[in-house]
């Protein structure tokens, strides 16, 4: 573990328990455990979740999967709020090395969950790039030995696709931004994605907001600033309805972002 990059004893204790239990359960099947997301990018705070990636020698078998389900239930029950805010996936060394055009589902732990489920959430270049360039190795070799360099053009194309596909889900009612968390998260995420299109790199939420305030039209600044101010206490915000006027403005902002990023 690299405590100098985390500097949070309570979280470090949760992560140490996770790594120790993974080693006991998986033995030589376990190749690496990395931290990703905001904690790796350097802008983690008390409103963040804790993103991780576990790289495996081979695909999980049924016994290993059952053991992991029990392991995550036990970690979730630890007396720390951070034990309930881990989020990450399990991926084989073959699959993690480069882009997966098949979008294979991975065993994934969602923020706030105690059990793994199948999801494509982390099977993307954005996650591979973040782990390769900034990942904190809690166990195993540097991520550069397991993940090939990622072409910025391919990264940008994935981000454009995400922007348009997500907007289509909002339009079709598959993704709702009518709670305060989703409304703010959407605005901040589109700021980040526009910044990544400009730089060919992945940046934190804080950096994305700062970039957007410097680069986008002033008419969007109050919406962006309100979204950032609304980040604390995400579990409460998820259960609280968003102002309908902010929802409408957020959808207009998404459309404006798509105009800047044609597919």
Supply φ then ψ for residue 173, to 5 degrees.
Answer: 80, 10
Residue 216 C-beta-side C-alpha neighbours within 13 Å: 28
Q: How far apart are CA 210 and CA 204, in angstroms?
A: 10
Report phi then psi at 61, rounded to 5. -95, 175
pLDDT at 175 over 60: yes
Per-residue pLDDT at 2: 46
Among the listed residues 87, 104, 91, the one whose alpha carbon sits nearest the alpha carbon of residue 36: 87
Mean pLDDT confidence for 31-35: 98
Give pLDDT, residue 1.
42
Cβ neighbours for 123, distance < 8 A, ≥ 6 positions apart: 89, 91, 95, 100, 103, 104, 105, 106
179: DSSP letter: B
Q: Is 172 helix (H, G, I), strand (E, B) or coil?
A: coil
**Band (176; pLDDT cuts 50, 70, 90):** very high
Task: Enter the pTM of the model.
Answer: 0.92
Which one is predicted more confidently, 38 or 249?
Answer: 249
Cα dihedral value 164, 165, 169, 170, nearest 10: -20
The pLDDT tens digits of the residues spanning 49-95 come to 899 999 999 999 999 999 999 999 999 999 999 999 999 999 999 99
Q: What is the pLDDT of residues 92-135, one digit of tens each?
A: 999 999 999 999 999 999 999 999 999 999 999 999 999 999 99
User: How many alpha carbons lie under 13 Å from residue 244 in its C-beta half-sphere?
Assistant: 0
Q: Are 12 and 1 in contact (CB under 8 A)?
A: yes
Taking 70 as the threshold, does the pLDDT of residue 43 lie above it? yes
C-alpha 61/C-alpha 66 separation (Å) is 9
Measure the CA–CA gap between 66 and 180, rounded to whole angstroms.
36
Query: Any idea what DSSP says for residue 103?
Result: -
Which segments of the chain does DSSP mark as H helices, in order? 9-26, 37-41, 62-76, 93-96, 125-134, 152-171, 180-199, 205-215, 221-229, 234-238, 244-260
Exposure pattern of 184-218 as b/e (b: 16+ CB <10 Å)?
A: bbbbbbbbbbbbbbeeeebbbbbbbbbbbeeebee
The confidence band for 44, taking pLDDT boundaries of 50, 70 and 90, is confident
Instruction: Inform me whether the pLDDT recorded for 184 exceeds 90.
Output: yes
Cα separation of 52 and 15, whole Å?
Answer: 10
Average pLDDT over the chain, rounded to an integer: 95
pLDDT tens-digit readout, 221-250: 999 999 999 988 888 888 899 999 999 999
Provide the pLDDT for residue 5: 65
Is residue 47's pLDDT more than 80? Answer: no
Residue 3: what pLDDT? 39
């Amino acid at each position: 573990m690299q405590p100098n990059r985390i500097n949070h004893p309570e979280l470090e204790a949760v992560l140490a328990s996770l790594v120790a239990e993974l080693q006991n359960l998986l033995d030589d099947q376990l190749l690496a455990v990395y931290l990703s997301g905001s904690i790796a990018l350097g802008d983690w705070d008390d409103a963040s979740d804790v993103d991780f990636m576990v790289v495996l020698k081979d695909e999980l078998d049924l016994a290993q999967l059952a053991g992991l389900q029990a392991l995550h239930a036990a970690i979730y029950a630890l007396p720390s709020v951070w034990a309930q805010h881990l989020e990450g996936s399990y991926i084989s060394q073959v699959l993690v090395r480069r882009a997966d055009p098949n979008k294979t589902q991975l065993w994934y732990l969602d923020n706030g969950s105690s059990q793994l489920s199948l999801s494509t959430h982390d099977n993307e270049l954005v996650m591979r790039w973040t782990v390769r360039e900034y990942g904190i190795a809690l166990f195993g070799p540097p991520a550069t030995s397991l993940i090939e360099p990622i072409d910025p053009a391919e990264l940008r194309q994935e981000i454009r696709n995400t922007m348009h596909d997500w907007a289509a889900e909002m339009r079709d009612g598959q993704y709702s931004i009518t709670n305060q968390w989703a409304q703010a998260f959407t605005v901040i995420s589109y700021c980040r994605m526009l910044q990544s299109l400009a730089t060919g790199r992945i940046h934190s939420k804080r950096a994305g907001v700062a970039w957007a305030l410097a680069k986008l039209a002033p008419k969007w600044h109050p919406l962006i600033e309100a979204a950032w101010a609304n980040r604390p206490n995400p579990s409460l915000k998820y259960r609280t309805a968003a102002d309908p006027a902010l929802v409408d403005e957020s959808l207009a902002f998404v459309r404006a972002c798509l105009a800047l990023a044609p597919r």
